[in-house]
Structure formats: structure tokens, C-alpha cells
Structure 1
Amino acid sequence: MIYLKLIFTTLFWAGSFIAAHVAVGTLPPMVAAWLRFLIAAFLLLVLMYKKEGLPKLNTRQVVTVFGLALTGILAYNYFFFKGLSLIPASRAALLVALNPILTVVTESLIFRRVLAPSRLVGVVLSLIGTIWVVSQGDINFITHMHGGMGELIILGACLAWVAYTLVSKLAMSGLTPLTSTALSSSLGFLMITPFALEAGLMQHLPALQAKDWYLAAYLAIPGTVIAFSWYAEGIREIGAQRTIIFTNLVPVFGVLLSVLLLNEHLSGATLFGGLMTIVGVFLTNRPQKVT
């Protein structure tokens, strides 16, 4: 069941790329992010209160929740939206595909864990498949890339998500996925607010249209409430390494959704790269033999 949840999580996040792209067409990025977490934080707090009640946190848990909010809510959204304003979405997707490898390497170094050969092959194969989808099989897309401020900012988003994933691993000690997601989203919402105010939040609020609220609702409910909670469940049940590899499905689903919703062409490169990514995810999540 957790694998199905993680697949749907990446599908929801892929849809979020399209929703966010439309949203920032009329709203500043941090204002759109503020609306997303305004709805998400409220719903998560209500769910947490009804299902689990108000938690009593110790000092370590307070620090962990603060870390989750700082890395996965504030830092990731700030770097991600800022980077997308400077470079094409396809190039950003290629850089975000580094998340699994960065997480695997970082976790292995911090927790001194040896990565099984089959799992390492799965990580690399999944990365290649993602690159193939994003570049549409054109190696020149990769070799002609030139680094700049936009790439550095998106790399900041990658590092922020890696940090969020590893902190989530620590949060699973004593906190449920729902509680950790609700508290971090609420605190992250408060952290985003000053940036949204600076971007003209008070001027944009009276002019919000129904479309803006619909997009914010999608970003908040399936894109945050459900997806973040299931992502946290994945980290608790199968570990950070095996969970984050699923994020390589996001660009694949993003292309497929573009075909379905935006009538874009489905190419052979998309099918081939998507298949490689799926095989890589499968290899990464194969049970390891205990020797």
C-alpha cells in the first residue's frame, strides 16, 4: 500500500507543477505559496486535532518540527519558485532529479550505511531515465547547459529537500506523519508570510479570482495535505533512500499530464525514459538479502 501511496504522491506533485505554473502567471510566487499553505495548514491542523489530538512536544521534537518547516516549506518553496523565474522548467526538473542521489549519498555518509549494488544501480538508472525524459533523448540538451544563478538557486532547492527528507527521518521518532506534517506546514506558513507580504500579498488578496482559489486548493489538498503526509509515511515505513527515489517519477508524470491536459506530443523518448525510471524505482525498492 505504501508504494501505491508514493506513486500517487508523485502524480499529485506532477500536477502541482502545472497548477503552480498557471498560478504564478497572475500571482507572485511567494503569494501563491502563501495561499497554498494557508489552506493546507488549516486542513492539516483540523485533521490532526480530530484524529490525534494536540501533541505535547519535547525539546527535541520542537527543534525537529522547526527544521522541517525551515527546509521543506520555506527554503524549498523560496528556492524553487525563485529558480523557476530564472531558468526553464525543463532545466529545473533535470536538476531536481539529483535529489535521490544527493539523499542516498548524504544518508550513507551520515548514518554510515553501505548501499547495496542493486539499489545503487536503481538510483543511477532512475536518474538517467529522468534525464532522458526531460532532455527528450537529446544529449545536446545536457552538454550545452551553462551554469548560472538560476541553476545555483535550484540546487539550493535540491539541498533543502534533501535536508527535509533526512530531518523527516528523525521526526518519525515520536511523531506521526500527520502530526509532523501539520505542525511543520503551519510553522512554515508563518515563515512564508513575511516574504508574501513583501511581494504584495495585501494588494493581491482583494483581486483574487475563483481560478486562483481553485489552483491554491489543488496545491494545498492533494499537493500538500495528502502528498506530504504520504511522503512522511514512506520515510517511516521504508526509509529515506527508498522513498525519495520515487520523486524521479515527478518529471515523468509531469510530461504525461502535459500530454493529457495540454495536448502535448507523447514521444518515444518519453516512453523510453519513463520505463527506465520505473525500472530504477523497482530496483531501488527491492528487498535486500541479509548476509
Structure 2
Amino acid sequence: MKKPKYYVYMLVLLAIVFWGISYVWMKIVFEFYPPITTMFLRLSISSALMYGIFRSQRQKIDRKDYKAFFLLSFFSPFCYFIGESFGLLHVSPTVAAVIIATIPVFTPILGFIAFSERLSFINIAGFVVSFTGVLIMVLDAEFKFSASPLGVGLLFFAVLSALINIIFLKKLTHKYSSFTIISVQNLLGALFFMPLFFLFDFSHFISVRPSAEAVGSLIALAVFGSTLAFMFYTSGVRALGVARTSIFTNLIPVVTAITSLIILKEIIDQGKLLGMAIVILGLLMTQVTRLREKRKARLAESLTPKG
């Protein structure tokens, strides 16, 4: 049975809300648990949930694809979460969300380098506009870092990891379902974090007594941020298409800013607001172009004589 459009849009918006507030949840958890512990527990809980929900939909992984899945999971979630979570220790949730939101802007450049895809003027313009917005957010009037350079660097490492992840993801999406891919990613990601957890964080983990808010935030990260958000967003992609659904991701920094202001009392000044607006403008520039190209392709296909 086909789901009504309003229901699909509601699911996509819920996914955006969950991902947007995830940065706030992480900040709350980090008051008690360091990033490695947080990511290990988050991925472990999510893996167990996804295994239970999608057990009947699991596909067998071909032995020849083991290496691709290993590298895919190494770059994301492992490297991606290291950059994102340790970066978040040094910057505000809003700055972190805006930097991570630039991934779609860099994607056409990756396509040009890795897959020889066409790079349009609007793609380049969108990149320049978005990067300018990020600079406005992290630099002050004297062009000195108002945000931690280390934090910004770690977050761009997360962006780079996500981009490299796309290379391996593109090879696997033609063969495996999105549920299979994300389930394997979460499981391998948890296994990558496991030795670091026992080596560096275990003694701290058994000695700390987290607040109820921190425990709730950790569970929310796993259930809503790493499981339900993915399920809802995938439903949107199937019903609305990748290009149209991806436009909603521009709202993630907005959700982060609002929830960080309410829950963490983050001060969001004019520079942050202006920078966020410019980044979102750059994202929209690249995504509107993608929608136009898809419409042209569909029109050309409909005009092609059949038979």
C-alpha cells in the first residue's frame, strides 16, 4: 500500500529533527562519557535494534565485497564519528551541524575527481558560497578563529571521511539494500570502536555515574539518531527521490540551533545566523541544479520513441 505524501513528508521531517537534535544529545552525554564510549555504545545499541527489526531483510554479503564493506565502515561511521564527536568537544553544536551540512556541497567535487562527473558553474558557486558561510561562523571581525581551529579541523576531517565513504557506498548500493548496508556499517563501526573503548575508556566507564538525562540522551542517539532517523529518511527517498528528500537536510543546522538555544542555552549571535543562512543558500544552489537535471532527464526519456 502506497503511503500518502503528507505521511512521507512527516517521516522525513522527523528524521531531520532527530539528526538535528543529535548534536545536543551528544553534548549532554559528553559531560559524563568521552566520545569513544559514546560512539561505541550508540552503535552497539543501534546494531542490536537493526538486527532485530531487519533480520528477515538481511542479505548475505559476498566474500568479494568484504573489503569494500570494511573500508566503507572504517571511513563511516568510524573515522566520521571520531572527527564529528571529538570536534564537537571543542565547538558549539550549531557550528558542528553547519560544517557537517556542507557534505553535499563537496559531493559534486568528489564526483568530478573520483568519477569524472560533470562539474557545473552552479556547483562551484554553491561550494564558494557555503564555504564563505562557514568562514563567517568560525572567524571574527579580525579574521581570527572565534571557534576552536582544532574543533573545526576535526569536523572537516569528518566531512572528508564521509566523502571517501561515498566512493565505496556507490559500489555497493547497486547490489545491496540500504538496510543491509547501514546494518553492516553500524556493526563494524561498533567493532572498530570496541578495542579503543576497552583500552582507553573502560575504567572510566565503570566508575562514572551518569545522570538520567545523559543516559536518556545516549539511548536517544542510538534509537532516534542512528536507527529511526535512517529508516524514516530512507522511506522519504523511496517515495520522493534522492534530490527532493535531500533538500530537507538543509534544516538540520536550523533544528540544531533552536534545540541548542533552548536546551543548552547556546548564544547564537548575528554572525552565526548569517553564516548559517549563507551555508544553506549554497546547499540549495547545488540541490536545485540536481533537481533540474533530473527533470530534464525524465523529460528526455518521455520524449524518446518507444519500440
TM-score by length of 1: 0.78
- List runs of 5+ in structure 2 lacking aligned partners: 301-307
Determine the C-alpha separation between the residues in 1 that align with 2:126 and 2:9. Answer: 16
How far the C-alpha of 1:164 sits from its partner, in A, is 2.0
How far the C-alpha of 1:153 sits from its partner, in A, is 3.5
Give the aligned partner of residue 16 of structure 1.
22
| Aligned pairs (5 A) from 1:1-291 | 8-50=14-56, 52=57, 54-85=58-89, 87-89=90-92, 92=96, 95-96=99-100, 98-129=102-133, 131-132=135-136, 134-135=137-138, 140=141, 143-145=143-145, 150-201=151-202, 203-205=204-206, 207-229=209-231, 237-238=241-242, 249-264=251-266, 272-286=274-288, 287-288=292-293, 289=296
**How many matched pairs?**
282
Change in CA separation of 1:3 and 1:267 when aligned onto 2, cut-off 3 Å: farther
Determine the C-alpha separation between the residues in 1 that align with 2:151 and 2:165. Answer: 21
**In the alignment, residue 145 of structure 1 is paired with which amino acid?**
F
| RMSD (CA atoms) | 3.6
How far the C-alpha of 1:43 sits from its partner, in A, is 0.7
Structure showing greater radius of gyration is 2
Determine the C-alpha separation between the residues in 2 that align with 1:27 and 1:257. Answer: 21
Change in CA separation of 1:215 and 1:253 when aligned onto 2, cut-off 3 Å: same
**3-state SS in 2 of match to 1:140:** coil
Determine the C-alpha separation between the residues in 2 that align with 1:59 and 1:149. Answer: 39
Determine the C-alpha separation between the residues in 2 that align with 1:231 and 1:126. Answer: 24
TM-score by length of 2: 0.74
How far the C-alpha of 1:111 sits from its partner, in A, is 1.0
CA contact (8 A) 2:36 2:193 kept: yes
Higher mean displacement: 246-255 or 167-176: 246-255
Determine the C-alpha separation between the residues in 2 that align with 1:92 and 1:36. Answer: 19
Percent of aligned pairs with the same amino acid: 22
Change in CA separation of 1:166 and 1:260 when aligned onto 2, cut-off 3 Å: farther
How far the C-alpha of 1:112 sits from its partner, in A, is 0.8
How far the C-alpha of 1:128 sits from its partner, in A, is 4.0
How far the C-alpha of 1:104 sits from its partner, in A, is 2.2
Change in CA separation of 1:247 and 1:139 when aligned onto 2, cut-off 3 Å: farther
CA contact (8 A) 1:177 1:233 kept: no
CA contact (8 A) 1:29 1:82 kept: yes
How far the C-alpha of 1:183 sits from its partner, in A, is 1.1
CA contact (8 A) 1:36 1:220 kept: yes
Query: What do the CA deviations read for 1:59-87 (whole angstroms, capped 9, x no partner)?
Result: 343223222221112111223333344x3
Determine the C-alpha separation between the residues in 2 that align with 1:115 and 1:4. Answer: 33
Determine the C-alpha separation between the residues in 2 that align with 1:233 and 1:125. Answer: 31
Determine the C-alpha separation between the residues in 1 that align with 2:74 and 2:158. Answer: 12
- List runs of 5+ in structure 1 lacking aligned partners: none
**In the alignment, residue 33 of structure 2 is paired with which amino acid?**
L
